Amino acid sequence: MSSYDTNRPLAFLVDIVDLYGSRRLRATVVRVQPDGKLNNLNDMFGREALEEFAASAYIESDKRDGSNVYGLSHGYEDVFRVSTVERAKDMVKVLTTVHRGLERFNDRMGNLREGDFAPYVFRIASILKIGSVYVTNNARQEDMTGERQRQVNASELQTRVAMMVDAAQSGRINEYTRGRR
């Protein structure tokens, strides 16, 4: 069996990224392997419909009253090339499914408040049948537990998002990135 099993369950991995001075929360789709490790779908080179799919939101550069997170969005990030009609159709199908699913959620449960990243991630996970959500531990948490990532529920994600936003706004983003993408 290969080290990358495509029959394993999907999960979202929430982390923080700093691209050209713009800090964002990002939830990317990963596979949970039997040993508990998470593999990026981009290891499959375009053979997965959710490869490069992510939910994201921007973080305000400094603290302010109200939401410090804005611009909830989802889509395909860092797509180098779409070279087949089948890949393009898969991407359109995923985007359409998420769009319609979010409309149904909004009709049933109401719209999310601006910057409500954790519920946004869990709504998309439900729509795409993604079974779990993980967060990237900061350096201190990783040193204590030995785990780079940790599975969380909705309320834990809300808390961890607040911690990530605080770290980003306080200039401690390196606690979460450690030079990783």
Q: What is the pLDDT of residues 148-163, one digit of tens each?
A: 889 999 999 999 999 8
pLDDT for residue 45 is more than 70: no
- The residue with greater pLDDT, 41 or 14, is 14
pTM for the model: 0.87
C-alpha dihedral (145, 148, 152, 157), degrees to nearest 10: 110
Question: Parallel, antiparallel, or unpaired: how do β-strands 22-32 and 38-40 relate?
Answer: antiparallel
pLDDT confidence tier of residue 84, bands split at 50, 70 and 90: confident
Q: Which residues of 65-98 are buried (b: 16+ CB within 10 A; e: fewer)?
A: eeebbeebebeebeeeeeeeeebeebbeebeeeb
- Structure letter (DSSP) for residue 64: -
Give residue limits of the domains in the chain. 10-177
